[in-house]
Amino acid sequence: MQNEFVESRKSEFAELKSYIDSVKSSQGILMQTLQKAQDIFGYLPLEVQQFISKETNIPLADIYGVVTFYTQFTVEEKGKHKIGVCLGTACYVKGSQEIMDKLSEELNVKVGTTTEDRMFTLEATRCLGCCGLAPVMMIDDDVYGKMEPKRVHEILKKYRN
């Protein structure tokens, strides 16, 4: 019986197969294939890893080892919008934990998880390189500096619409 995930994502698997076929004769294709797969699917569930293993003849254990070693890869589906709150020293001292707590309360999620509607993923990050704007929050590629808990609701409203 064919997996429901695989059935529902046939076009994405076709796109990934086409990509793998185009790089198959190259050396060291695993990293670039995993990056392409994550671009296509948004994450790397077991079904995608198994497909890559089958198409490249790379053992599944090797693929899983790479996926779980590098933080750029994720095996869990992320939300449409990724929220990162800097917990580096400068931000933490200036109140980033309160920002994180407010986001967690507002979104009804724990850090490192995704809202039920798959709209937001809340993540703790380390230095975002904006120490002068501490505390800092990022949503996707948008940076929000000098954050205060009272601003969280209004900022999230922009992304919910």
Give, for 122, the enclosing helix (H) or strand (E): strand 120-125
- Rounded CA-CA distance 59/122 in Å is 32
Task: At 93, list the tokens.
Answer: 């001292």
Class of domain 81-160: alpha beta
Question: How do the domains of the chain map onto residue ranges?
Answer: 4-69, 81-160
Task: At 98, list the tokens.
Answer: 């309160």
pTM, whole model, 2 decimals? 0.68
Question: Tens digit of pLDDT per residue, the chain (161 long)?
Answer: 457 887 888 899 999 999 999 998 888 899 999 999 999 998 999 999 999 999 999 999 999 999 999 878 988 888 889 999 999 999 999 999 999 999 999 999 999 899 999 899 999 998 888 899 999 999 999 999 999 999 999 999 999 97
